[in-house]
Amino acid sequence: MFTEQDTLCAAQADDAMSGITANCVTPPPFTSPLKSRATRKFSWKNRDRCSGSIVVSLNGVMITLHFESKLELMVIMLLLSRDDVIEIWDQPPHVTYRKADGSIGKHTYDFRVVLDDGSVVALAVKPAEKAARATFQADIARVAQATPKSFANDVVVMSEADFTHAQVVNAARYFEFNKDTATEADLAVRSVVADLSGAASIDGIVRRTKLAGRAYRAVVRAIFANTLTPAADGIISPKTFVSPSHAGGRF
C-alpha cells in the first residue's frame, strides 16, 4: 500500500528503485492573460464577419486581442512578426472629429501600435475596395487631422493590398513557432549558420542539426530575427534557400 509520501512524486518512487535520488519539479502557477482593452463592443454572433480573440505575447506579457474580421487577424499576425512592435491596443478609445456635413462623428481605430522608438501609429484596417473610395479617404483624412498627437504620431490605413499572401502565411507560422522555447534547436541552428559561407537550403540546415521539426521552427525564428535572409520572397519552406544576414531587416 502506498503512503502519502510515496504518492507525492511518481518520479521519486521509480528512481528510488534504481538507487537514484530525483527532485520533483513543480510547474509554475498558471497566469491568466490580460483581458482585451477594447473599448468598442461588437456582436460575437454576427455570421457575416469573422470575429474573435487571440492571446498574444508582447514584451513578455500575455494579453488578449479582439479582431472583427479576418483582415484584422492578418494584420495582427503581421504586427507580431515585427521586432519593433512593443504594444498593440485593439479598439482604443474613439477620436472625435467633424464630418463633411459639419456634424460631430466618432471614429474608433482598429489598432493603436507602439514601436520601440517611442512612436505611435493609429491603424485603420479596411478592405482595399473600401479604402480606395474617395468618400472614405476624405473621411479618414478628417479623422487623422483631428487625432491628437498624444494619441498617435501617425495614422495609417492598411488593407490586403499592402501585403502578400506569402507574408501572412509566414507571419502566422512564425506566431506559432515562436511559442516554442527549444533553446537547444536555436543554438544548433546558430552553430550551423556560423559555418555557412553562402546560401543553403533550410532542409540542409535542418539535416545538419539532426533535430528535425524543432530545427525547422528555429530556422523560421532565425529568419524573423534577421539572422537569416531568404534568397527570394515567398512562403518559407524546407526548400527555401537562406544565407546569413549582414545588415538590414526583412520588413
What are the per-10-residue average pLDDT scores of the chain (251 residues)? 39 40 60 86 66 90 94 97 95 96 96 97 98 97 97 97 97 94 90 92 97 96 95 96 69 30
Burial 168-187 (b: 16+ CB within 10 A, else e): bebbbbbbebbeeebeebbe
For the chain, how big is the Rg over CA atoms in Å? 24
Q: pLDDT tens across 167-178, in order?
A: 999 999 999 999
Q: Mark residue 234 as left, alpha or beta (left: phi above 0; alpha: psi -120 to 50; beta: remaining).
A: left
Q: How far is CA 168 from the centre of its chain?
A: 11
Question: Do 163 and 82 form a contact (C-beta atoms < 8 A)?
Answer: no
CA pair distance 166, 236, nearest whole angstrom: 8
| Alpha-carbon span 153 to 234, nearest angstrom | 32
DSSP string, 52-76: EEEEEEETTEEEEEEESSHHHHHHH
Query: Do residues 33 and 55 touch, judged by C-beta distance below 8 A?
Result: yes
Assess contact for 209 and 199: CB atoms under 8 A: no
- Residue count of the chain: 251
Antiparallel, parallel or unpaired: β 104-107 and 85-90: unpaired
Lookup: cell for 110: 482598429
Question: How far is 111 from 124, CA to CA, in rounded Å?
Answer: 7
What does the pLDDT read at residue 248? 39
Question: In whole angstroms, what is the distance from residue 40 CA to residue 38 CA?
Answer: 6
> How far apart (Å, rounded) are the C-alpha atoms in residues 193 and 228?
8
pTM: 0.82
DSSP class per residue in 114-148: EETTS-EEEEEE--HHHHT-HHHHHHHHHHHHHS-
Question: Phi and psi for 177 in degrees, rounded to 5?
Answer: -70, -25
The C-alpha cell of 239 is what? 526548400
Distance CA 70, CA 49 (A): 8
Any bridge partners for residue 230, and if so which?
A: 242
